[in-house]
Chain A
Amino acid sequence: MPDPGDFPIQSSANILGFVHCLRAAEFDVSTEDAALIGRALTGFSNPDLRLSRTTCRALCCRNKQEWHRFDALFDAYWFPQYGQDHETPESEMEKPSRSGGGLAGIGTGTDVFDSYKQDDIGVGAGAGRQTTLAKADFRFLNNRAAMRRIEELAECLAQQIRSRLSRRRELTRRAGQLAVRPTLRASVRTGGLPLQPWYARRRLQPPNLVVLHDVSHSMTFNNPLLFRFTRGLTRRFNSAEAFVFHTRLFRVTPIFRETSIARMREILEHNNKLWLGGTCIADSLAEFREQFARQTVKTDSLVIIISDGFDSNEPEQLATQLKWLRQRCRRVVWLNPMLERAGFNPEKEAVWNIRRNVDRLLPAHSLDALRRCVQALSQG
């Protein structure tokens, strides 16, 4: 541990160097923050290690992850002789998970991606983390921390999907437009004096979401991110339903509603029937239609299909099922993680077959793409 005695933080050059170090570690420290650190630390008559550390932490950290990483960065900059790593391994920040596997890429999100390390395509090549991570194709992320971060962001992003403003109005005692008729009706009790006015405002209506997630072998690389995205969608609205499919279809809503991600992973991994390879999208949709559609799909439902579109069924079968689904619900949106990837050359006919039978076909290979998906999904 560093010696708290001799601590040379009062030099403004040192403080600036530390701020640059934090920015290099993807902390969002503004010039104003740097000035505040300088003002706070140089203002102290005798700043010791602990005070300086806590001051810098309060001023520079923006979230829990940065809070946990800060100490290691602080020690690495001010006490390089102690040989601290610049970044606390993500695995040390989290509680040890009882699960050790990695089926379909959901175990750690890393084992699968280790094979891509030879490509040596890192995350830190751009100007800053926010932009780079947002645009990075998550298939090429080989950094454990970045992978974790992008998974978290995907889940957060999914939770930003908005409730729709219903055309129906609800009466409230405050806020909104004055509802004349109910106010007059209520005023009868008080001799015609409108003492307690009623207001009307448009009701927020959560969308009826149904997510159908392809977990076949070809989707293995996409699943770490998309599982968290689906989890975010499912947890955002109580009425949302989630299903996974390959050659068969399974309801997984209760699993995605698990608060603990570790437990969700464990349950998913222990469910061997979920991971049988192969893809029969049309058959799975037919199974969904027979077993679950009556309970889950309503006329105003938004059905999201997450799949790369590789299907062993005939295209006509898929078209038939999609047509039926589209008639049954309000919108069908297909998120394809392969769509804008370099080197992905699907048969034009296959893409056209999907495109003409769904309302939107959107790419879902990066955070930026998912952000666009969320915007599209929020549009009613």
Chain B
Amino acid sequence: MQEKIAHLITALKGCRYIADDDLATTLSLMEDLSRPVLIEGEAGVGKTAIAAALACVRDTQLIRLQCFEGIDVSSAVYEWNYTQQLLWIKLSEQRDESVHESDIYNERFLLARPLLKSIRQDRAPVLLIDEVDRADEAFEAFLLEILSEFSITIPELGTLTATSIPYVILTSNGTRELSDALRRRCLFHYVPYPSYEKELVILNTHLPDMDSQLLRQITRFVQALREWDIRKRPGVAETIDWARALCGFDVTSLSDSPAVVRSTLSCLLKTTEDRQFVREQGIESLLTVSA
């Protein structure tokens, strides 16, 4: 098991995702126990990227279902292609052919949406159910059925069982409390903001050409900024964006370019209040910490 986890960490790193033991163990258990994983954490810490990285490691398809308020079966599971059905009926009428129900309701006219698509792959795909907390409770209950049975019943066709069990990853930003039933069926992993060391490795992985001293400064700056009482703390994605922006301005040291740092802070601060707050506090202390 230890070797498997170590191998998975290396493989994820190869797909530009820096995973710790915790995450690798959870992903291994997901595969061994065929259980979905529920991943929670602040926005921008890399929850969605886990699914993409796992798909890359397993060399399989990533199927994504983005949840939203009001999501229903037709957007998540399947839908009939009414346009084609009508055309087909019209053509049949022109040919004087009789039309039976089975002619219209068959797989030819079935539009598979992410959940159905995920259970009908020959090779187990990674199914990402993103921001499940945005969906309503009725859809959550429906998900429970699918995640436990991995089969979908279509009244006109019957029950479609999975040809392969997908690796299911659910993410949540915690905007709504998920039901105990859903949590109980999933393994749980929480992604916190990364430590200094981990964030530095992430930056090095994503921006290998950048000066390592500057990357250290950027990481220290962002880590210190996260300690401030701001509304939306920057995630890893924001840090990478900011590093890229600084690179575009040919910055070699943060303390030597305070004006550029100020003007590019929009990469890190995403609300007016936060910008105002940081402007009032000044960035000098952050620059001192990062130097």
Residues of A within 8 A of B (CB): 28, 30, 36, 40, 43-48, 50-51, 54-55, 57-59, 61-64, 66-68, 95, 98, 153, 156, 159-160, 174-175, 193-197, 204, 258-260, 262-263
Contacts and interface: CB of A to CB of B under 8 A. Distances in A.
B86 interface: yes
A58 B23 CA distance: 9
A343 to B, nearest CB: 32
Nearest to B24: A54
Contact of B75 (A98, A175, A195, A260): A175
Contacts of A44: 1-2
Contacts of B70: 204
A28 B186 CA distance: 13
Contacts of A175: 72, 74-75
Nearest to A175: B74
20 contacts: A28-B183, A45-B1, A46-B2, A51-B5, A54-B22, A54-B26, A58-B22, A58-B26, A59-B29, A64-B40, A67-B190, A95-B229, A156-B177, A159-B177, A174-B79, A193-B86, A195-B83, A259-B232, A260-B231, A263-B229
B188 interface: yes
B25 A58 contact: yes
Contacts of A95: 227, 229
Contacts of B86: 193-195
B22 A40 contact: no
A260 B42 CA distance: 13
B190 A64 contact: yes
Contacts of B176: 156, 159-160
Contact of A174 (B40, B74, B227, B229): B74
Nearest to A30: B184
Contacts of B2: 44, 46, 48, 51
A63 B83 contact: no
Nearest to B231: A259
Contacts of B184: 28, 30, 62
B168 to A, nearest CB: 14
Report which residue of A54, A156, A193, A260 has the largest number of chain B beta carbons within 10 angstroms of its beta carbon. Answer: A54
Given A54-B25, A196-B83, A63 B74 contact: no
Contacts of A259: 231-232
What 5 A-B pairs have minimum CB-CB distances, sorted nearest first?
A: A54-B25, A156-B177, A58-B26, A67-B190, A62-B183
B156 interface: no
Contacts, number: 92
Contacts of A204: 69-70
B209 interface: no
A54 B21 contact: yes
Interface in B187-207: 187-190
- Consensus secondary structure, chain A interface: loop
A274 B219 CA distance: 41
A63 B40 contact: yes
Interface size classification for chain B? 35 or more
Nearest to B26: A58
A263 B22 CA distance: 32
B259 interface: no
Nearest to A62: B183
Contacts of A197: 82-83
B220 to A, nearest CB: 18
Nearest to B111: A174
A40 B229 contact: no
Contact of B1 (A51, A59, A66, A260): A51
B231 A263 contact: yes
Given A51-B1, A61-B190, A95-B227, 14 more contacts: A40-B29, A44-B1, A45-B1, A46-B2, A51-B2, A58-B37, A58-B187, A61-B188, A64-B40, A64-B174, A67-B190, A156-B177, A160-B177, A195-B87
A69 B40 CA distance: 16
B32 interface: yes
Contacts of A50: 21
A63 B231 contact: no
Contacts of B75: 174-175
A43 B82 CA distance: 51
Nearest to B37: A58
B280 interface: no
A68 B191 CA distance: 11
Interface in B27-54: 29, 32-33, 37, 40
Nearest to A236: B176
A58 B29 contact: yes
B261 to A, nearest CB: 24
B82 to A, nearest CB: 5
Contacts of A63: 40, 183, 188
Contact of A51 (B25, B40, B183): B25
A46 B3 CA distance: 11
Contact of B90 (A43, A48, A193): A193
Contacts of A55: 25, 29
A40 B28 CA distance: 11
Nearest to A194: B86
Contacts of A263: 229, 231
B177 to A, nearest CB: 4
Given A63-B40, A175-B72, A175-B74, A58 B189 contact: yes
A164 B174 CA distance: 23
A240 to B, nearest CB: 16
Interface in B75-124: 75, 79, 82-83, 86-87, 90
A356 B32 CA distance: 61
A95 B192 CA distance: 13
A213 to B, nearest CB: 22
B250 interface: no
Interface string B1-19: 1100100000000000000
A101 to B, nearest CB: 16
A58 B21 contact: no
B180 interface: yes
Given A40-B29, A48-B2, A51-B5, A62 B22 contact: no
